[in-house]
């Protein structure tokens, strides 16, 4: 293609895609459609030089929550002191880690879970793979970074079987890392995997291939199946690990947008964070892989343009999430006016904790007393 023409097309398409991504992350919705009541938000102190508590976990003593943030640290909330403290970090390379361009060197912890028996914290770092750190924190150790000869480019969500200690985790893409996740959207990439790690044998086993951006993971209460969020297909699936259904997949819920993490609610059902609402343009692109591949081949990065546009501090449109019942039907819908795109909704001890990779602060909401009854 004639070079100036290709550059011009690059600029045009990059701006279009950046605008679409921005709309995906901040899709508007009337508050009249929301089922949940107006909970009172409680913004907490910011994490210094970092942002984006992508997921939360509590230690065996009920301490926390803990969260992975953008500079590679896992931080812990200390309620008595009303502040975050450093607990662990993904990579020993700490210089310049407040700079987003250093993310692939400093690490980006996403999913975090404690083994409630040993007190060890397991971490899905987007770049370094599956990590572990002991109860006292410090630098994490890489315990797995490839499976069947394929390196982990984008390790994401995990959960732990409380009986066996086996970890179930997702690898969102075998082609693109987190810095280039826009390419997964444009191309409809389905190279993700669900895997398990056995801490006794130290072996990784691939359970499911060809998933479209698998993300959050949750064990069922009876241990018979695993919930897996499949972001690009906007659904939650069940993967059976026991009973006569072992090895089979069922669709549990189809969602009104691209889902991220999933957690059990103490009031029943499951909270699923919605990273972005449905977008007709992106649906059009994803249904036509040739267009997406062409866009992703252009020499100008739409993500950089989107990040530049975001610095204009445009109004944040409420992020959303849904609480599903045991049949995958919506019990409750939640919106958060502070965070925009949501990655996490975790409910514990009368509070709903909200996480988003886009903001420098965690936010929690007090559940109304009448809803706790």
Band of pLDDT at residue 181, cut at 50, 70 and 90: confident
Spacing of C-alpha 324 from chain mean position: 18
Q: Where are the domains of the chain?
A: 33-275+320-372
Length, in residues, of the chain? 373
CB neighbours of 15 closer than 8 A, spacing ≥ 6? 302, 305
pLDDT of residue 52: 86
* Tally of CA atoms within 13 A in the half-sphere of 66 that contains its CB: 29
d(CA 260, CA 228): 10
**Residue 36 above 50 pLDDT?**
no
pTM for this one? 0.87
pLDDT of residue 216: 98
CATH architecture type of domain 33-275+320-372: 6 Propeller (2.120)
Give the lowest-confidence range in 13-22, 41-50, 109-118. Answer: 13-22
340 or 85, which is more confident: 85
Mean pLDDT, the chain, whole residue set: 84
Determine what percent of the chain is predicted with pLDDT higher than 70: 77
The encoded tokens of residue 38 equal 């107006």
The per-residue pLDDT for range 188-221, each reduced to its tens digit, is: 899 999 999 999 999 999 999 999 999 999 999 9
pLDDT of residue 57: 98
pLDDT of residue 186: 79
Angle, CA of 236, 242 and 246, to the nearest 5°: 70
Pairing of strands 83-89, 138-139: parallel
The per-residue pLDDT for range 281-324, each reduced to its tens digit, is: 666 666 676 766 676 666 666 555 555 554 554 455 567 899 99
- Per DSSP, what are the bridge partners of residue 189? none
**Residue 99 above 70 pLDDT?**
yes
The per-residue pLDDT for range 56-81, each reduced to its tens digit, is: 999 999 999 999 999 999 999 999 99
Run of H or E residues at 3:
helix 3-25
**Residue 178 above 70 pLDDT?**
yes
**Residue 32 above 50 pLDDT?**
no
Give the residue from 285, 370, 324 showing the smallest Cα distance to 24.
Answer: 285
**Residue 83 above 80 pLDDT?**
yes
328 or 29, which is more confident: 328
């Amino acid at each position: 293609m004639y070079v100036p023409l290709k550059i011009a097309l690059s600029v045009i398409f990059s701006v279009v895609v950046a605008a679409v991504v921005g709309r995906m992350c901040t899709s508007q919705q009337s508050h009249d459609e929301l089922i949940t009541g107006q909970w009172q938000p409680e913004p907490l102190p910011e994490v210094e030089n970092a942002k984006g508590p992508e997921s939360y976990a509590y230690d065996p003593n009920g301490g926390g929550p803990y969260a992975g943030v953008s500079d590679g640290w896992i931080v812990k909330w200390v309620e008595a002191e009303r502040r975050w403290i450093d607990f662990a970090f993904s990579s020993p390379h700490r210089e310049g880690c407040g700079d987003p361009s250093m993310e692939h060197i400093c690490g980006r912890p996403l999913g975090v879970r404690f083994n409630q028996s040993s007190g060890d914290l397991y971490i899905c770092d987007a770049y370094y793979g599956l990590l572990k750190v002991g109860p006292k924190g410090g630098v994490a150790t890489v315990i797995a970074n490839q499976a069947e000869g394929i390196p982990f480019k984008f390790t994401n969500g995990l959960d732990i079987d409380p009986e066996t200690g086996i970890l179930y985790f997702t690898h969102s893409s075998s082609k693109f890392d987190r810095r280039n996740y826009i390419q997964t959207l444009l191309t409809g990439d389905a190279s993700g995997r669900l895997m398990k790690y056995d801490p006794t044998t130290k072996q990784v086993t691939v359970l499911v291939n060809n998933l479209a951006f698998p993300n959050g993971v949750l064990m069922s209460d009876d241990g018979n199946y695993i919930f897996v969020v499949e972001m690009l297909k906007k659904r939650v699936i069940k993967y059976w690990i026991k009973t006569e259904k072992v090895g089979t997949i069922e669709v549990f819920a189809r969602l009104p947008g691209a889902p991220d993490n999933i957690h059990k609610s103490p009031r029943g059902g499951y909270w699923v964070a919605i990273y972005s609402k449905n977008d007709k343009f992106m649906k059009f692109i994803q249904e036509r892989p040739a267009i997406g591949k062409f866009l992703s081949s252009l020499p100008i990065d739409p993500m950089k343009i989107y990040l530049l546009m975001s610095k204009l501090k445009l109004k944040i449109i409420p992020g959303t999430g849904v609480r599903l019942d045991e049949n995958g039907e919506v019990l409750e819908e939640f919106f958060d006016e502070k965070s925009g795109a949501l990655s996490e909704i975790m409910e514990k001890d009368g509070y709903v904790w909200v996480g988003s990779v886009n903001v420098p602060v965690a936010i929690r909401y007090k559940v109304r007393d009448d809803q706790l009854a």
